[in-house]
Structure 1
Amino acid sequence: MLYSIIIGGIAGWLAGKLMKGGGFGLFKNIILGVFGGFVGGWIFNKLGIPFFNNLFDGIVGDLVEGVIGAVVILFIAGLMKKKEPASEN
């Protein structure tokens, strides 16, 4: 569990660096990265590419998977953020 949180946090940070505009800030990127790590695992499992075992080994595969999942989550969160109505002042 701790391993997943650490890898997900690093993945979220990296995903924030890759995203246009930097994502949502360091803390939120890390939190979304932890969630994205699980999403990345699910995506690649559904695609029949379980945990990049054939391409990468161990932590590198987990990190690549987590970054891709975190980018997906940050992208979706960015779309949702843009759809929020502008507040009237």
Structure 2
Amino acid sequence: MGIESLLVMLFVGAVAGWLAGKLVAGYGYGLLGNIVIGILGAVVASFLLPQIGFGLGGGILSAIIHSTIGAVILLFVIRLIKRA
């Protein structure tokens, strides 16, 4: 993995985590938290979205949307677990 790929992954994770935090009850997690949430969201989305037949294509915008969807799902599940 080159330095460019790592920087893009960190950028996409940060943006996706920030967007997911705004969409799910407006929580703020800081830069590092947003990156972690965004990257984990991308992992969740890469597993779940193909199962339901949802694909976006390539590019950085689709990666951000893909990761944000996964991060929202992740935050929703975490919120359900905290309430239980």
TM-score, normalised relative to structure 1 = 0.72
Question: Is residue 30 of structure 1 aligned with residue 35 of structure 2?
Answer: yes
Secondary structure of the structure 2 residue equivalent to 1:20 = coil
- Tell me the equivalent position of 2:53: 48
**Greater Cα radius of gyration, structure 1 or 2:** 1
Q: CA RMSD in A?
A: 1.9
- Structure 2, unpaired ranges of 5+: none
Unpaired stretches in structure 1, ≥5 consecutive residues: 84-89
Quickly say closer, same or farther: Cα 1:82–1:21, change in 2 above 3 A.
Answer: farther
Answer 1 or 2: which has greater helix percent. 2
Normalised by the length of structure 2, the TM-score is: 0.75
Q: Which runs of 4+ in 1 moved over 4 A?
A: none
- The total of aligned residue pairs comes to 78
